[in-house]
């Protein structure tokens, strides 16, 4: 095992539970360390800090696995982390209303760079580095020992920017016939586990979709921007929205959204699905003097279309200003971001500035972050990337 000596301040952080091995903190280029290698971390006096694995990601170059000197990193290690994680989701596994959720959330469950989701009998493993992928056999053996499943699929996300590597994502078991239909608080969603980087639903918005359906949709005219497969639109429609409009620039979003409406027995023709740039839709809506009671903003952290580059950190305020213009008096905006480039305080700063600059007053109604199955560490708040603010806007 390689030994790495950490400087005082960084060693103190690791002692308090910070799980990430930072690029600048330790390695020199000629170290010759390989993906998956185990590393012993020590302080400047040689005192034991923890054991980690090496794996290059955009965030860092590995994760702490244990702070216990006596604990070996072997088959039992993976078994114990997975068993604890699965026990922690015991209520979700028993739920008849929800059959898709996260089972293992990286460092929050003790192994950074690895997530496992459950989709009604299927497991989807996401590997965020070649380093963690090196432990594939042990991790799958652990799943085999403690769970029953129809099949395992995987996404390799270890290209340079953490992007998905195109592949046949089937690992083992009996191949599924996709879409499979999962349930989330009684809502049906069509899911594809072997069709590129995304599955059709982002599981981290479970509580937000339920909140919209149960408390914000009844009788409302709803605009869902960056709508992808229309998951929020379906939740709003089931909650009694008079009409939903889904806007996404990707061609696939039209058929995917029709499918999500259909698997819930909803008539998609009673709703609008627009394949277009959100910013063009804002201009169009403003020109036509359209007004919405509820607008959902859930953009990607970063996206480039033919006409626009959107970066949440730079452009979220602008996005809000556009949305405010077509929100009815006393209407509600659901402002969501998965950007880990800024935290809740800064996000609320964008909201405040957008309202001030448009002469609007506002009331924050509620806030959400990741659901309980997306376990995070207090010692690593960066891992809690999701920020959702419901605000009521009052035009003056
Ligand atoms: N809100 C969605 C997830 C969004 S994923 C959900 O709840 O499921 C991001 C989506 O934004 C992608 O489908 C992408 O096609 C779309 N997108 C990115 N830039 C866009 C733009 N400028 N206008 C419209 N859609 C955009």
As averages over each run of 10 residues, the pLDDT of the chain (396 residues) reads: 91 97 69 89 96 92 97 98 98 98 98 98 97 98 98 91 84 98 98 96 98 98 98 99 98 98 98 97 97 98 89 98 98 97 97 98 98 98 97 93
Q: Give residue 273 CA to ligand 1 midpoint distance, Å.
A: 13
Q: Which ligand 1 atom is nearest residue 308's CA?
A: 22
- State which of 274, 275, 299 you would mutate to test the pocket of ligand 1, scoring each by most atoms of that ligand within 8 A of its C-beta: 299
d(CA 176, CA 194) in angstroms, rounded, equals 9
Is the beta carbon of 12 within 6 A of some atom in ligand 1?
no
CA 76 to chain centre: 29
DSSP β-bridge partners for residue 246: 224, 273
Q: Which ligand 1 atom is nearest residue 304's CA?
A: 19
Residue 396 is predicted with a pLDDT of 77
Which residue from 320, 322, 302, 319 is spatially nearest to 311, judged by alpha carbons?
302
d(CA 302, CA 355) in angstroms, rounded, equals 23
With contact defined as beta carbons under 8 Å apart, do 270 and 246 qualify?
Answer: no
Instruction: Name the E strands within 77-137.
Output: 100-105, 114-119, 122-127
Q: How distant, in Å, are the alpha carbons of 10, 297, 336, 344 from that of 312?
A: 29, 11, 10, 13
Residue 276 is predicted with a pLDDT of 96
- 3-state DSSP helix/strand/coil % of the chain, to nearest 5: 35, 30, 40
Give the 3-state secondary structure of residue 220. coil
Tokens of residue 124, six digits? 């989807």
Q: Which ligand 1 atom is nearest residue 307's CA?
A: 22
Which residue from 195, 278, 183 is spatially nearest to 231, judged by alpha carbons?
183
Supply the DSSP string of 11-67, one letter for each residue: HHHHHTT--B--HHHH--GGG---TT-EEEEE-TT--EEEEEEE---SS-SEEEEES
pLDDT tens per residue across span 52-63: 999 999 889 999
Q: Where are the domains of the chain?
A: 2-66, 75-179, 202-395
| DSSP secondary structure code for residue 361 in this structure | E
CATH topology of domain 202-395: Rossmann fold (3.40.50)
Residue 295 is predicted with a pLDDT of 99
Instruction: Report the run of H or E that residue 321 belongs to, with start and end.
Output: helix 312-325
Is the beta carbon of 99 within 6 A of some atom in ligand 1?
no
pLDDT tens per residue across span 263-287: 999 999 999 999 999 999 999 999 9
Which CATH superfamily, name and number, covers 75-179?
RNA methyltransferase domain (HRMD) like (3.30.750.80)
Does residue 240 come out as left (phi exceeding 0), alpha (psi in the -120 to 50 range) or beta?
left
Q: Which ligand 1 atom is nearest residue 232's CA?
A: 7
Residue 23 is predicted with a pLDDT of 85
Q: How many CB atoms lie within 10 A of CB 389?
A: 21
Q: How many CB atoms lie within 10 A of CB 390?
A: 22
CATH for the stretch 2-66: 2.30.130.10
Q: How many CB atoms lie within 10 A of CB 110?
A: 23
CA 332 to chain centre: 23
Is the beta carbon of 350 within 6 A of some atom in ligand 1?
no
Q: Give residue 203 CA to ligand 1 midpoint distance, Å.
A: 15
- State which of 100, 244, 249, 314 you would mutate to test the pocket of ligand 1, scoring each by most atoms of that ligand within 8 A of its C-beta: 249
Residue 31 is predicted with a pLDDT of 64
Nearest CA to ligand 1 atom 21: 277
**How many residues can be counted in the chain?**
396
């Amino acid at each position: 095992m390689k030994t790495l000596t950490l400087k005082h301040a960084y060693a103190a952080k690791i002692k308090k539970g910070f799980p990430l091995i930072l690029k600048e903190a330790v390695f020199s280029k000629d170290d010759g360390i390989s993906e998956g290698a185990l590393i012993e971390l020590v302080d400047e006096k040689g005192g034991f800090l923890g054991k980690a694995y090496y794996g290059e990601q955009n965030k860092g170059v590995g994760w702490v696995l244990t702070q216990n000197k006596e604990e070996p990193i072997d088959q039992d290690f993976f078994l114990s982390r997975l068993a604890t994680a699965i026990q922690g989701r015991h209520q979700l596994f028993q739920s008849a209303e929800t059959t898709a959720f996260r089972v293992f959330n990286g460092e929050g469950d003790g192994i950074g760079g690895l997530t496992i989701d459950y989709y009604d009998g299927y497991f989807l493993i996401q590997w965020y580095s070649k380093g963690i992928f090196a432990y594939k056999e042990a991790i799958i053996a652990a799943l085999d020992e403690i769970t029953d499943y129809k099949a395992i699929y995987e996404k390799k996300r270890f290209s340079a920017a953490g992007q998905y590597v195109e592949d046949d994502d089937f690992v083992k078991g009996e191949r599924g016939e996709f879409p499979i239909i999962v349930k989330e608080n009684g809502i049906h969603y069509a899911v594809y586990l072997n069709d590129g980087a995304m599955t059709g639903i982002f599981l981290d918005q479970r509580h937000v979709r339920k909140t919209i359906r149960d408390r914000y949709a009844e009788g409302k005219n709803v605009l869902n921007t960056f709508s992808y497969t229309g998951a929020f639109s379906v939740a709003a429609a089931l909650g009694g929205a008079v009409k939903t409009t889904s806007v996404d620039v990707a061609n696939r979003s039209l058929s995917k959204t029709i499918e999500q409406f259909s698997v819930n027995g909803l008539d998609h023709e009673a709703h609008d699905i627009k394949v277009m740039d959100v910013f063009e839709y804002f201009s169009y809506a403003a020109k036509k003097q359209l007004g919405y009671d509820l607008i959902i903003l859930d953009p990607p952290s970063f996206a480039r279309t033919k006409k626009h580059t959107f970066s949440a950190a730079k452009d979220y305020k602008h996005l809000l200003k556009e949305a405010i213009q077509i929100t009815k008096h006393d209407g509600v905006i659901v402002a969501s971001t998965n950007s880990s480039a800024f935290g809740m305080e800064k996000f609320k700063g964008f909201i405040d500035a957008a309202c001030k600059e448009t002469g609007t007053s506002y009331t924050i109604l509620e806030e959400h972050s990741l659901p309980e199955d997306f376990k995070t560490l207090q010692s690593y708040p960066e891992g809690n990337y999701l920020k959702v603010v419901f605000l009521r806007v009052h035009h003056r």
